[in-house]
Amino acid sequence: MFVDASVVVAILKQEEGWRTFAARLSEASKVYVSPLSIWESVLGLVKEAKIPFEDAEALVDGFVKEVNAQTIQISASIGREALIASRLYGRNRHPADLNFGDCFAYACAKAYRIPLLYKGDDFAQTDLA
């Protein structure tokens, strides 16, 4: 299961529904993140929770270790898949309105043929729903 940054932030901030996400992660046989989803999670905590950068980085690193997530390397084929996601579902092109990080989360899940765990309804409007 690939974990979108929205889920990492929701769990770490204990937003509504965070326990459901935590339970889903605990049931997953394998959990994946990418350098981009880690980056987006750290910046989300800095911006939304007003957590100092170093503290946010430590929280996200701790989360990745806690869930025993493997880090997916961003390859050329994942980059190509992210471009396809942007063309099909990207901002100002589709109601899913996927941003940069979303397109790469989509691409990682698609390339590895694994489920995508996310918060919100943006990915629900794609073929990964």
> Quick one: pLDDT at residue 52?
98
- pLDDT confidence of residue 92: 87
* CA 129 to the chain's CA centroid: 14
Helices (H), 67-99: 76-89
Which residues make Cβ contacts (< 8 Å) with residue 19, sequence separation at least 6? Answer: none
> Rounded to two decimals, what is the model's pTM?
0.94
For residues 69 and 2, the answer to whether their CB atoms sit within 8 Å is: no
Segment 10-35 mean pLDDT: 97
Work out the burial of residue 45: count CB atoms within 10 Å of its CB; fewer than 13 is exposed, 13-18 middle, 19 or more buried.
buried
Average pLDDT over residues 47-56: 96
User: Where are the domains positioned within the chain?
Assistant: 2-120
pLDDT digits (tens, 9 = 90+) for 52-95: 999 999 999 999 999 999 999 999 999 999 999 999 999 888 88
Please name the CATH architecture into which domain 2-120 falls.
3-Layer(aba) Sandwich (3.40)
Pairing of strands 116-117, 2-3: parallel
